[in-house]
Amino acid sequence: MSRALQGKVALVTGGSRGIGAAIARRLAADGADVAISYAASADLAQAVVREIEASGVRAASFKADQADAAQVAGLIKAVVERFGRLDILVNSAGVSVIGPVGDPATDVTALDRQLAVNVGGVAAAVRAIAPHLKKGGRIISIGSGLGTRAPWPGFADYSATKAAVAAFTRGWARDFGPKGITVNTIQPGPIDTDMNPADGAFAEIQKAGTALGRFGKPEEIAAAVAFLAGPDAAYITGATLDVDGGFNA
C-alpha cells in the first residue's frame, strides 16, 4: 500500500459492510482519514471505525439514510465539522431489489425506495459536497455492470438506477472539471457480499457470465477506487470503469 492519500479526508457511504467497508479500509491504508455512513448496522460501522483507527488515521461513522436528502446533507455537514475538510466522496451505499415489471408479486414500494437510495442518495450527496470539494477532489460512485447490460429478467429498476449513476457521472465530470475535480463510476461485476453471496442461489449463472469464471472480492473494487482517488488518476474523469472479471466483455 502507498500513503498516496495522506492528508485527505474521504467519506464512504454504506461503509459498514461489503464493498463500502473494503473501500474504507483501503483508503485508510493509503493514508486517508475516513468517515463512513450506514443505515442500520451501527455495530458493524463502529467495528470498521475501530479497525481503521488502529491503522493510525482518524475515522468516524455516521447514521444517515441515503433515501432522505436532508439526512444526506446533514451527513456531509457533520463530516466537514468533524474532520475540517472533505476531499473524496465514494458513493457505495445501495440496495438491490428484484421484481419483473407487471408481476403482481413485485414490491413496487421497495422498487421506489431503491430508486430513492441508489439515485436520489447519490445526487443528494454530490449536491451537498459540491461547495466543499477543492482542486484535486474526487467523486467515485459504485454503479453496476447491470447499468450497461440487462442479462436477466427482474432487474430493470436496479439497472436503471445504476445507468442513472453513470449518466450523472458524465454530466458532473463536465460541471466539476473546471475546478480540477474528477468524477468517475466503477461498475462491479458479481462481488461476494451480503447483497450477492458467492454461494447464493443465483451465483452459478453469474460466475458463468464472467470471463474469469469467478466472483470478485470487495477488495478488488476497493483497489480500483484507491487508484481513481489517487494522484495517478488525475486525468481520468467522466469514465465508467468495469471491474467485473469480464462480465460486460
List the catalytic residues.
158
Q: How far is the CB of 89 from ligand NDP (least distance, A)?
A: 14
17 vs 138, beta carbon nearer ligand NDP: 17
8 vs 17, beta carbon nearer ligand NDP: 17
- Residue type at 241 in one-letter notation: L
Enter the C-alpha cell of residue 131: 461547495
| C-alpha span between 190 and 220 (Å, rounded) | 11
Q: How far is the CB of 178 from ligand NDP (least distance, A)?
A: 28
**DSSP character at residue 110:** H
Enter the C-alpha cell of residue 36: 463512513
Residue reference for cell 475515522: 59
41 vs 182, beta carbon nearer ligand NDP: 41
Q: How far is the CB of 26 from ligand NDP (least distance, A)?
A: 13
101 vs 110, beta carbon nearer ligand NDP: 110
Q: Which residue from 34, 65, 68, 72 is spatially nearest to 50, judged by alpha carbons?
A: 34
92 vs 182, beta carbon nearer ligand NDP: 92
Q: How far is the CB of 104 from ligand NDP (least distance, A)?
A: 26
Could you write out the three-class secondary structure of 163-216? HHHHHHHHHHHHHHHHHCCEEEEEEECCECCCCCCCCCCCHHHHHHHCCCCCCE
| C-alpha span between 75 and 15 (Å, rounded) | 13
Q: How far is the CB of 15 from ligand NDP (least distance, A)?
A: 6
- The answer to whether the beta carbons of residues 114 and 65 sit under 8 Å apart is no
242 three-class SS: strand
- The residues binding ligand NDP (CB under 6 A) are 14, 16-20, 37-41, 44, 65-67, 92-96, 117, 142, 144, 188, 190-191, 193-196
